[in-house]
Amino acid sequence: MDVERVRSLAKRLGCAYSEEEPLARHFVLGIGGEPEFYIRPGSWSQAEEALLRLWDWDIPFKVLGSGSNLMAADGPLPFGVLHLARLGGRMHWEGTSVEADADIPMPALVGESVRRGLRGLEGMGGIPGTVGGAVIMNAGAFGNDVAGVVTGVALIERGLGLRWHEASDFAFAYRASDVKIFGIVAGCRMTFMTGDPDGIKARFEEAKARREATQPWRSATAGSVFKNPPGDSAGRLLEGLGFKGKRRGGAGFSDLHANFLVNHGGATFEDAFALCEEARAAAAAAGVALEYEMEIWR
């Protein structure tokens, strides 16, 4: 890999740069080794230029957002990382619609929609992550998801730069989409529905309280490890199989929710991944195929 070329690019653009940056510092779960390089742009214009150049040079890299649903292998990693977070993103509201940059935290967007008395994402109170990540994975909870409100997506595309697309250009499914096949999300447009402001706020607060009571969001966690299987709950299934609170080294499934992986301190990738695979194998033996919702880099 031409690290010298990447280093010069970061310096020219004014991006933060490192060649010994532990990803554990940037993942909520706190498990992840060192990529070949780490670039953190300070604006979306810097991010676009960095993306286009890295693509031109065919340099392997991954894009990091809030790091709320990720873990990576320990030690040296065979790719670089471009960290697209806190780039000065903005939300522009007009009536029932918003245009939001991808680095906007989802709690900020959801909270503002509720404050304005708009329906569509109020069931997602308390969900972490950024707008970009939420679009890619079609984040959702308690009857709401991003696909229900998104109308347009801005992508930075290889060889083309920034382009807007209609949401109908993409396929959205349960906790999934094909958006990232086409480029890197730089922003989106969403349109909400009006409703009773008090009722919307009450539903938002109820969802947030329920999440705080049943999920370990105050811990070092990657959130849901597995997607819910059709017609069932991964947490219910794993609890029935004895994985609630089960540990391996410093990694364990939460005592609150059996589908949440927690770093209790000093957890290694080897232990965390082995525990997840053990759970997946147990579910398979019980006749249920579990698919990862958490993203794993190795």
The catalytically annotated residue of 7, 116, 175, 210 is 175
Q: Clarify whether 293 is annotated catalytic.
A: yes
Contact yes or no for 227/174 (Cβ under 8 A): yes
Q: Clarify whether 175 is annotated catalytic.
A: yes
Rounded to whole angstroms, the Cα distance separating 68 from 30 reads 10
Q: Are strands 61-64 and 91-94 parallel, antiparallel or unpaired?
A: unpaired
The catalytically annotated residue of 34, 49, 122, 293 is 293
Task: Report the C-alpha dihedral over residues 270, 274, 276, 277, rounded to 10 degrees.
Answer: 140
The catalytically annotated residue of 68, 177, 224, 254 is 224
Name the phi and psi angles at 58, rounded to 5: 55, 40
249: exposed, middle or buried (Cβ count in 10 Å: 0-12, 13-18, 19+): middle
Contact yes or no for 220/260 (Cβ under 8 A): no
Collapsing DSSP to helix, strand or coil, 294 comes out as: coil
Amino acid at 85: A
CB atoms near residue 12 (< 10 Å): 12
Q: Clarify whether 224 is annotated catalytic.
A: yes
Q: What b-and-e string marks burial along 193-222, b requiring 16 or more CB atoms within 10 Å of the CB? A: eeeeeeebeebbeebbeebeeebbbebbbb
**Active-site residues: which are they?**
175, 224, 293
